Amino acid sequence: MNALGKHLLLELKGCDKEVLDDLSFLRDALLAAASECGATILGESFHRFSPQGVSGVVIIAESHLFIHTWPEYGYAAADIFTCGDSVQPERAAQVLTRKLSSKNHSMVEMRRGILDTE
Amino acid sequence: MNALGKHLLLELKGCDKEVLDDLSFLRDALLAAASECGATILGESFHRFSPQGVSGVVIIAESHLFIHTWPEYGYAAADIFTCGDSVQPERAAQVLTRKLSSKNHSMVEMRRGILDTE
């Protein structure tokens, strides 16, 4: 059953709280995750919220990665959406999980765009 | 059971193919969806691919909306990720479904950040 896109939804709990509030660190982490899975980076947008929390997205030729963090809970939601066979989104998931020092994480894999075509 | 975020994953099939390749239209549609659900828009990034297809994201104070389109299949994947009670992501989903003239659509709702806190 072919799908156009693979979408990994990461729940990252028990993360390092300081890291979750550090825009620069998170930007580097998301860009590293994109690079290590073989993606071509096209653009990015990051925002830090008051009093805490960061949202960021990296647009790649193969779709996108995003992260939203709640430092007060040690929690981050991260998604890796890719299309094509040239990238390995699982590697990006491993990079993010490791960099955020998540002690309790889970992942859901969704197939997007399952069509009635070969 | 409380969750920090509500994440709607829209599968939009049978869409108007011309619209799916029109960056300007899709940008307007995503911004309209964000506005109509009550979100505060912080940033955006859109890219058109060769020979076809558009990726776009709108960052909102309450998280994000994105869309990826495959005009050749009349298909778009759209996500609406929101946190807090001040926004109505279902309204954004309705706006996008209508604007893209999707004749065959489905939606999965994910709760993100279900924590062991009150």
CA angle A108, A110, A114 (to 5 degrees): 165
Contacts of A37 (CB under 8 A, 6+ apart): A80, A82, A87, A88, A89, A90, A91, A92, A95
**Best of A10, A17, A45 to mutate (most B CBs within 10 Å, chain B):** A45
The model's pLDDT over B33-57, given as tens digits with 9 standing for 90+, comes to 999 999 999 999 999 999 999 999 9
Enumerate the residues of chain A whose CB falls inside 8 A of the CB of residue B13: 115
Q: Would you state the pLDDT for residue A118?
A: 54
Q: Is the pLDDT of residue B117 over 70?
A: no
Q: Would you state the pLDDT for residue A1?
A: 75
Q: Would you state the pLDDT for residue A35?
A: 96
Annotated catalytic residue A68: yes
Q: Quickly list H helices, chain B.
A: 23-36, 89-99
Point out the residue among B13, B57, B115 whose CB comes nearest to the CB of A75.
Answer: B115
Q: Would you state the pLDDT for residue B29?
A: 98
β-pairing, A3-13 vs B3-13, is unpaired
Contact A42 B43 (CB under 8 A): no
Q: Is the pLDDT of residue A116 over 90?
A: no
Contact B63 A64 (CB under 8 A): no
Annotated catalytic residue A83: yes
For residues B89-103, average pLDDT = 97
Instruction: Identify which of A9, A46, A96 has the alpha carbon closest to the alpha carbon of residue B43.
Output: A46
For residues B56-80, average pLDDT = 96
For residues A19-25, average pLDDT = 98
Q: Would you state the pLDDT for residue A117?
A: 64
Please give the DSSP secondary-structure letter assigned to residue B8: E
Tell me, what's the ipTM? 0.93
Q: Is the pLDDT of residue B1 over 90?
A: no
Q: Would you state the pLDDT for residue B55?
A: 96
Selecting among A7, A37, A83, A102, the annotated active-site residue is A83
Q: Is the pLDDT of residue A41 over 80?
A: yes
- Nearest-Cα residue of chain B relative to residue A42: B47
Residue A45 vs residue B118, higher pLDDT: A45
Q: Is the pLDDT of residue B118 over 60?
A: no
Q: Is the pLDDT of residue B13 over 70?
A: yes
Q: Average model confidence (pLDDT) for chain A?
A: 95
- Backbone torsion region of residue A75, taken as left when φ is above 0, otherwise alpha when ψ lies between -120 and 50, otherwise beta: beta
